[in-house]
Structure 1
Amino acid sequence: MSYIDQLNTAASVTAITLSLISWVPGVIGLVLNVFIFTRPALRHEPCSLYFLTSSYFNLFVIFIILPVRTVTSSLNMDLGNYNIVICKMESYIFYVVRVISCWLIMLACFDRFLHSSTNIRKRQLSSLKTARLTIVITIISIIILYSHMVIYYKITDDVNKLGNIIPTCNAQIGIYRTFIAMWHMTFYSLCPSCLMLVFGYLTLNNIRQQRQVLPITSVNNQIHRRTDRYLLRMLTAQVLVIIISTLPFSIYRVYSSFTINIAKSTFRIAQENLAGQIANTVPYFAHSSSFYLYTLTGSVFRKEVCKIIPYCSPRRRNRVHMSHNQRNQISVVQIDR
């Protein structure tokens, strides 16, 4: 087997392996995220609402986008390469959903900044009402900001990993292909990541000021501050994974757009194919790993996990059902008396 065949085989195996590693834990973790962030201990926190909404978008990424992209890259089966409507809508929706997910985590960082402020007006902005409004505005804004993809995404003739020219659903060749690569790197990786780091730093400053200005005077304040610290840890872990996972994808997209007009050997195309498969698959870890990051970094989250897991077992559900029936029988007997 030649080096080119080995590289192409490695690219396919890598894509499938990394996709499975993302998909299996992602499905379990994101479903548990939805249950846990709707628990009474967390559902009244604005930060939890951002986490919950992000989990919904990540479920779409794991259940829809990841399988479709895996089949496309590994088996070269993509209806979007032959149907212009599917090409435009699939590319547009797949981009928008992933971007929204990252920006929701950024909004959670912003909420922690407001919530930890010593300024009472800023703290009042950290509310469920503000969170709902901000989420709606963010989703609409990103949908509008990426609407140009519907116009400029076309079926073009590109060179595949074997050096053959095939139809591919991609951005229009020329300035727009470079533009969309830079645009996506800005809104998917650089901008949200930088804002996450900025608001994370400002939040830490707010916490230091609180320790100096606001003494802990009650047990409730201690519990509240402890919950805030755990939410901040969970957020920090998620931010780091997003930055590490999404940057390679964006960098590869920019590199591809700048080198599209350069004549390449079959060996170089195979090398870039391997690098592209890795860069395209790694970002899914940012969308599938949140549950495990939250479990490792937040004890409040772990407590809610421990509370919810027993209810998932059949024995526990039967016991709850039996005890509920017994209570109903006792109440009926008392009424008869």
Structure 2
Amino acid sequence: MWTQAEFTLFQKYVFIVLVPIAIVVGSIGSILNVIVFSISTKLRKSPCSLYLIFSSIGFMAYLNVVALLKLLQVGFAIDPSVSWSWFCKLKFYFVGFLLMLPRTYLALAGIDRYLMSISNQHRLSSRKVAVKVIIITCLFWMIICVHNIIFYDALTSSNGLVHTCSSSPGAYSTFLSFYSVFINGLSMPLLMVIFGVLTVRNLQRHRNQIQDNNTVGTFQRRKKQEYVILRMLLVQLIVNIILTLPVTFYLCYSGLTQYTQKSSFRVFIENYTYNFFTLLQYISANNYS
């Protein structure tokens, strides 16, 4: 049976090996996404491509900021957030902002596919509308995530031995638990599932109508383009759900047990588990690249 020190050392080397790979591969993938969606004539005209471009940029920023900070903390025991209050606040502000922004853009791409499948709503699916929505979405999450700046701080234990960057136990921790489950964890996947199913139904309905009018060939070409993007979004959705729900439910568990007396070993196991769950999130970000 390994000791706590051996478990910690194992996790340290896992992060040192896997996180840099995730950052490099994810960044390269994001850059390639931006290039492909920007250069391709057919893809460049689609507002969905614009959402996917900004989603890729957002996930690249997430990996190079959030994942890098976690690598320094777990792999090299470097964590300025436990000493500097301003760094702690900004750290969790950008964790929340960079987590939700690209995922929202991805959900908007799914909504755009749905609008394109509705014959009388094409005017809502345009690059002009997409640019406005992208800006509004960015401003929205910039404002929503301010609560992290307000409630997170560099804290010191009563004996002065333990330094952490976290929120104090209380109403906010409970709120954060449910916020993590319903906003971070479930809202975007549910939106993508709903609009993905609606899009497939609309495309199927159009196919049946067009078959009656003997114009199957033209529709088949359009349907193929629609399904390529839709299939890509659905695959990303499935992987995202599998890899991000563990950390979401951990945060819910953490909030619900905040007043429970825990042994040092239980705290160690919880922190150890949480670190590995965050690693899954970084791998999930690579799925979008």
TM-score by length of 2: 0.91
Report matched runs for 1:44-193 at 5 Å. Answer: 44-117=45-118, 120-157=119-156, 165-193=161-189
The SS at the match of 1:185 is helix
- The alpha-carbon deviation at position 154 of structure 1 amounts to 1.1
- The alpha-carbon deviation at position 106 of structure 1 amounts to 0.7
How far apart in 2 are the matches of 1:205 and 1:218?
Answer: 17
How far apart in 1 are the matches of 2:152 and 2:202?
Answer: 45
Q: Is 1:100–1:142's contact at 8 Å kept on the other side of the alignment?
A: yes
Tell me which amino acid in the other structure corresponds to 2:13: V
The reply on whether 1:5 has 2:5 as its aligned counterpart is yes
Greater Cα shift, 276-285 or 252-261: 252-261
The SS at the match of 1:246 is helix
Q: Residue deviations 1:290-310, cap 9 Å, x none?
A: 24xxxxxxxxxxxxxxxxxxx
Q: Which residue of 2 aligns with 1:209?
A: 205
Q: Which residue of 2 aligns with 1:297?
A: none
1:245–1:158: structure 2 CA closer, same or farther, 3 Å change rule? Answer: farther
What is the root-mean-square deviation in Å for CA atoms of aligned residues?
2.2
How far apart in 1 are the matches of 2:196 and 2:157?
Answer: 42
The SS at the match of 1:264 is coil
Q: Which residue of 2 aligns with 1:282?
A: 280
Higher alpha-carbon Rg:
1
- The alpha-carbon deviation at position 195 of structure 1 amounts to 1.0
- The alpha-carbon deviation at position 170 of structure 1 amounts to 1.0
Gaps of 5+ in 2: none
- The alpha-carbon deviation at position 218 of structure 1 amounts to 7.4
How far apart in 1 are the matches of 2:134 and 2:89?
Answer: 25
TM-score by length of 1: 0.79
Report matched runs for 1:238-277 at 5 Å. Answer: 238-277=236-275
Q: Is 1:61–1:98's contact at 8 Å kept on the other side of the alignment?
A: yes
How far apart in 2 are the matches of 1:179 and 1:194?
Answer: 20
Count of residue correspondences: 286
The SS at the match of 2:99 is helix
- The alpha-carbon deviation at position 220 of structure 1 amounts to 5.3
Tell me which amino acid in the other structure corresponds to 1:35: I
Q: Is 1:193–1:239's contact at 8 Å kept on the other side of the alignment?
A: yes
How far apart in 2 are the matches of 1:158 and 1:111?
Answer: 49
Percent of counterpart pairs with the same letter? 29
Greater Cα shift, 280-289 or 17-26: 17-26
Tell me which amino acid in the other structure corresponds to 2:83: Y
Q: Residue deviations 1:5-61, cap 9 Å, x none?
A: 233223323333442342232122111111111012311111111110001111111
